[in-house]
Structure 1
């Protein structure tokens, strides 16, 4: 009986002595977390520079109850007493593409890109229309 009790006592002490080595779970989780770092993609809008005066040769355009100004193919909108460069509004139509337009194909459809804006030819109507960025 005493011999059995001693073995139980020794077993308990061994288990207690080894318990810090056996608890690998938190350390493993930390190592696992370090190997698989999470990457979050964030879309950051570029801030458009504000200008106090429009270029000399600008044109005022009213579209969808808003005032826009176009100069040298760049679009501006009034904001807090200044002007902010913006993209042309979707749906707006032009007879001639702005300078610097480049032809791009997305999923077999031809677009014309100027800066970050896309135009699509409306053949029957005879104009280019500003469209959303094509997915492709």
Structure 2
């Protein structure tokens, strides 16, 4: 009986350790490189800029190619209502800009416009 109690105590202890480790895992999001072709885009916003439809999701810009999407550079001058999570405020030449993954935005009224820096 003592051995059985000892085995159960050890299993309970190991179960606690594995539970704690499972809760401290970090999820790393990998963003596709420019030119990557993907089959689907989750919850994209369609933004028309200079008669071209761009798809914007989670800070990544896409163009449609048939039934697939190609990761593209953010077009200069395109306007978005909200910045992606994780964007940072940066002051350059006295201007307040926002940067996210190499894409620069400036505030213009209620929108943010992609600019070159």
- TM-score scaled to structure 2, two decimals? 0.61
Cα–Cα, structure 1 residues 47 and 58, in superposed 2: closer, same or farther, change >3 Å?
Answer: closer
> Structure 2 matches for 1:1-136, cutoff 5 A?
47-55=34-42, 57-79=43-65, 81-122=67-108, 125-132=109-116, 134=117
Structure (1 or 2) with the greater strand fraction: 2
1:36-56 Cα shifts (integer Å, max 9, x gaps): xxxxxxxxxx6431112222x
Give the CA RMSD over aligned residues: 1.9
Secondary structure at the counterpart of residue 84 of structure 2? coil
CA distance in 2, matches of 1:127, 1:71: 16
Compare relative contact order (CA 8 Å, sep 6+) and give the higher one, 1 or 2: 2
> In the comparison of the two structures, how many residue pairs are matched?
85
Q: Which has the larger radius of gyration?
A: 1
C-alpha displacement at 1:59, in angstroms? 2.2
Structure (1 or 2) with the greater helix fraction: 1
Which structure 2 segments of 5+ residues have no match? 1-32
C-alpha displacement at 1:117, in angstroms? 0.9
Which structure 1 segments of 5+ residues have no match? 1-45
